[in-house]
């Protein structure tokens, strides 16, 4: 009989972090193909380009449900059940993207070999590091001319401040891409080959064990030299460091041509952690704890004004979900029956009957849930650690269009802020309302929901990007406020400064060394 613990040990839950266009959609699709979760390449792509969304939308209209656009995908592979959580890029980037990283046990970082580490990757990486979760790196597009592999490794280590261990090493690249030297499996994987000669074995000295034309190639010679260099001067492989998130195993490949994807997946599953315990108000909750528990990390509101229902995404932390089970919402102590829930699959949404720690389920929500909420069958009604506050980067000044609607305006803002849709700050001098976000989409959602749910039209005035730094000081001299360093209070009445730019921040730090500033997203 399989126990709850056996089940939990098969789960792997991760998010892919990358900058737009690095190949996240392509890699996701290839992974889903291996798992048999989708039949055709192009399914995930179609969703991204919007082809899917239209037909989806009509279907949804019919069902009076809502589109979740499969932001959670699940597949079975080699006795594992894998959950992939999408972290949207482009215009969809928001605090939800960061919060998604709170619900995973590991992350896969995709890097475009020609571009190296890009902005969005750095931001998402920081959140992963804050949590100390393992990060696996896939350097993509080796079939194209890119940066030199050693340069890419150096960049990863320098920019991200993490150790790396290349699990394989490219032999040539672009038009001359031969394949990879697979250090981990002690073989060479050829790029252009049939299935029968795809893998060439290496001997104990790490050289080709069989006669092969590759031996004559200067690229092969060069690879052997580089491997020697890596072995002598590079980092040691360390499973402990991988699990602690301080060393990232690096894989070179090409998602588009499905090269190196399976090797990557196999190694990932071997080293990525099963669902981890979570800290709560009564201590750590183990995933094999019999009581069912989980927390809401994302609420997807229906943007269609006719339907108010929403889906709350729940990360299961312990126990087993069963349809129709009764749970407590710890924040209010209110019992809730989980009769309507949905599991996410790439092809379509299936109704979930059973799920365990590590799995993500969607709960139809009519306004019960807030982001960060814990639900559990335990009478103790404990709560998981609060989700962190993320550093907003763009700001808007907001007022109600109609002064007669102040009451609705405040109610709406407070609820949306509490839900985590957006962050609110007040200037200390004028008590103006400033909204902070990490992505433009958050402002749009805010405006839309204020109008549709609270019946208030708002005036939003762009303030552009700012560098937010909090201070723990309980008292701050209000004269430090200026247009370049706006002094505000957050919703917990904590002081923060919004600096115009990096220069203004440094100038301030020089002039006012006594004011201790911090960024919650810097883990050190």
In the complex, minimum distance from the CB of residue 116 to ligand GDP, in angstroms, rounded to a whole number: 15
Tell me whether residue 118 or residue 155 sits nearer to ligand GDP (CB atom).
118
Task: Give the 3-state secondary structure of residue 367.
Answer: coil
DSSP single-letter state for residue 264: H
> Is 35 annotated as contributing to ligand binding?
no
The residue range among 15-23, 157-165, 299-307, 350-358 that interacts with ligand GDP, by the rule CB under 6 A, is 15-23
The residue range among 17-25, 31-39, 73-81, 169-177 that interacts with ligand GDP, by the rule CB under 6 A, is 17-25
Site for ligand GDP in 144-163 (CB under 6 A): 144
| Among 11, 12, 24, 30, contact with ligand GDP (rule: CB under 6 A) | 24
- CB burial of residue 336 (10 Å; 0-12, 13-18, 19+): middle
According to the binding rule CB under 6 A, does residue 174 interact with ligand GDP?
no
User: In sequence order, what are the beta bridge partners of 339?
Assistant: none
The residue range among 18-26, 264-272, 302-310, 363-371 that interacts with ligand GDP, by the rule CB under 6 A, is 18-26
Q: Which residues contact 287 (CB under 8 A, 6 or more apart)?
A: 5, 8, 274, 275, 276, 277, 317, 318, 356, 357, 358
| Among 9, 13, 18, 67, contact with ligand GDP (rule: CB under 6 A) | 18
Q: How many residues bind ligand GDP (CB under 6 A)?
A: 15
Tell me whether residue 256 or residue 480 sits nearer to ligand GDP (CB atom).
256
Radius of gyration of the chain (CA): 25
Supply 269's token pair. Answer: 């599953």
List C-alpha distances in Å: 92 to 65, 86, 88, 467.
Answer: 21, 11, 6, 21
DSSP single-letter state for residue 213: G
> Is 143 annotated as contributing to ligand binding?
yes
The residue range among 23-31, 157-165, 327-335, 357-365 that interacts with ligand GDP, by the rule CB under 6 A, is 23-31
- b/e per residue, 71-91, with b = 16+ CB within 10 A? bbbbbebeebbbbbbbbbbee
In the complex, minimum distance from the CB of residue 17 to ligand GDP, in angstroms, rounded to a whole number: 10
> Is 54 annotated as contributing to ligand binding?
no
List C-alpha distances in Å: 429 to 174, 425, 436, 478, 501.
Answer: 58, 12, 18, 8, 21
**Cβ atoms of residues 146 and 114 within 8 Å:** yes
Query: Strand runs (DSSP E) across 205-268, as ranges?
Result: 247-252
Give the x-and-dash track for 88-127 against ligand GDP (CB under 6 A).
----------------------------------------
* CA 377 to chain CA centroid, nearest Å: 28
According to the binding rule CB under 6 A, does residue 359 interact with ligand GDP?
no
According to the binding rule CB under 6 A, does residue 140 interact with ligand GDP?
yes
Tell me whether residue 111 or residue 435 sits nearer to ligand GDP (CB atom).
111
In the complex, minimum distance from the CB of residue 86 to ligand GDP, in angstroms, rounded to a whole number: 9
**Cβ atoms of residues 16 and 108 within 8 Å:** yes
> Is 293 annotated as contributing to ligand binding?
no
Distance CA 195, CA 198 (A): 5
According to the binding rule CB under 6 A, does residue 255 interact with ligand GDP?
yes
Residues contributing to the annotated binding site for GTP: 18-25, 86-90, 140-143
Q: Please report, as ranges, the residues that interact with ligand GDP according to CB under 6 A.
A: 18, 20-26, 140-141, 143-144, 254-256
């Amino acid at each position: 009989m399989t126990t709850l613990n056996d089940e939990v040990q098969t789960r792997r839950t991760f998010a892919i972090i990358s900058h737009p266009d690095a190949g996240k959609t392509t890699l996701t699709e290839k992974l889903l193909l291996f798992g048999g979760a989708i039949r055709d390449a192009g399914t995930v792509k179609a969703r991204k380009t919007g082809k899917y969304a239209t037909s989806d939308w009509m279907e949804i209209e019919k069902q009076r449900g809502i589109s979740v656009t499969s932001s959670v995908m699940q597949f079975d592979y080699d006795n594992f059940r894998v959950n992939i959580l999408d972290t949207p890029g482009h215009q969809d980037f928001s605090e939800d993207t960061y919060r998604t990283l709170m619900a995973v046990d590991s992350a896969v970082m995709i890097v475009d070999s020609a571009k190296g580490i890009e902005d969005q990757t750095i931001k998402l990486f920081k959140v992963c590091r804050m949590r100390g979760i393992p990060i696996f790196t896939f350097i993509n597009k080796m079939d194209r001319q890119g940066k030199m592999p050693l340069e890419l490794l150096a960049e990863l280590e320098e920019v991200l401040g993490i150790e790396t261990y290349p699990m394989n090493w490219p032999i040539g690249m672009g038009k001359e891409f031969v394949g990879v030297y697979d250090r981990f499996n002690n073989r060479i994987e050829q790029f252009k080959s049939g299935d029968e000669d795809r893998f060439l074995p290496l001997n104990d000295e790490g050289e080709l064990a069989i006669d092969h034309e590759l031996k004559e190639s200067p690229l092969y010679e060069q690879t052997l030299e580089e491997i020697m260099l890596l072995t002598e001067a590079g980092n040691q492989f360390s499973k402990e460091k991988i699990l602690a998130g301080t060393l990232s195993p690096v894989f070179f490949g090409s998602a588009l041509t499905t090269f190196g994807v399976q090797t990557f997946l196999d190694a990932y599953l071997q080293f990525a952690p099963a669902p981890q315990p979570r800290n709560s108000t009564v201590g750590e909750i183990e995933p094999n704890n019999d009581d069912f528990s989980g927390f809401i990390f994302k609420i997807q509101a229906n943007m269609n004004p006719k339907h108010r229902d929403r889906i709350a995404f729940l990360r299961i932390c312990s126990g087993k979900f069963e349809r129709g089970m009764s749970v407590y919402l710890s924040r209010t102590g209110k019992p809730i029956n989980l009769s309507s829930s949905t599991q996410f699959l790439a092809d379509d949404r299936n109704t979930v009957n059973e799920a365990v720690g590590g799995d993500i389920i969607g709960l139809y929500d009519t306004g019960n849930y807030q982001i960060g909420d814990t639900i559990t069958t335990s009478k103790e009604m404990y709560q998981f650690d609060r989700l962190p506050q993320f550093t907003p980067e763009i700001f808007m000044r907001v007022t109600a269009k109609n002064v007669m609607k102040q009451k609705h305006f405040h109610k709406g803002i407070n609820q949306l802020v509490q839900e985590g849709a957006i962050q609110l700050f007040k200037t200390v001098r004028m008590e103006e309302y400033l909204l902070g976000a990490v992505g433009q989409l958050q402002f749009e959602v805010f405006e839309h929901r204020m109008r549709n749910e609270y019946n208030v039209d708002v005036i939003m005035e762009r303030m552009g990007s700012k560098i937010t730094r909090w201070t723990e000081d309980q008292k701050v001299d209000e004269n430090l406020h200026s247009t370049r360093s706006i002094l505000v209070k957050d919703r917990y009445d904590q002081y923060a400064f919004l600096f115009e730019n990096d220069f203004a921040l440094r100038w301030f730090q020089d002039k006012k060394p006594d004011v201790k500033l911090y960024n919650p997203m810097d883990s050190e």
